Amino acid sequence: MNLRKLLLSVGVLSVFCAGSAFAQPIGLGVKIGVPLSEPYKDVGAFTSDTKKYIVGPMIELRLPAGFAIEGDALYHQTDLSSPLSAASSLIGSVVNADSWEFPVLLKYKFGPKTPGFSIHPYVEAGASFRYLSGLGDLPAFITNNGSGVDKNNTGFTFGGGVECKVLFLRVSPEFRFTRWGSDTFTGGLANIWQTNKNQGQFLVGISF
């Protein structure tokens, strides 16, 4: 009976140790940065003005052999306005459009894992999902009661950077490029604003 208990305990301990060996660490942190492009092209008197900051949380699942999967929730604000505000407050009203981007990227980090200080260049690629809020505040006579606006967009993202690791802190400056798949403004509204499908960003990740 004691031998059975001993063998059972050893078996449970073996399974626990095996699970611990295959369990991968998860990194949590924040992403900050600046946009390198405007989300919309200016047409005529109407303009867009992206706030020069990007911020949001990040999570990274660190896999074996230098691979990782990263997910972010990045926020930045875009103002849509017109210089005709002095002549017509209706046309010239400023609309604050909040942009939320959710990239899910597969990463590969070069170089062996070492304790303490290490530097790992990396490349990444995956899909990004964007949601725009606030566009419903556009004047109704421009949007035809809300039509002509697609708040959701999907794109392909790739980039590269360098991860600098000091003990438990990781700092990762990088450049990202996204090619969005569709236009935010459609129909007649595209004559006022046009979507810039090419997006560039400079980001710095700070994680543990």
Tell me the domain boundaries of the chain: 25-207
Give, in words, the CATH class of 25-207. mainly beta
Q: What is the mean pLDDT of residues 195-208?
A: 94
Mean pLDDT for the chain overall: 79
On the CB side of 205, CA atoms within 13 Å amount to 26
3-state helix, strand, coil in the chain (%, to 5): 20, 55, 25
Name the more confident of 90 and 30. Answer: 30
Name the more confident of 50 and 72. Answer: 72
pTM of the model as a whole: 0.78
Following CA atoms 197, 200, 57, 131 in sequence, which dihedral angle do they give, to the nearest 10 degrees?
Answer: -10
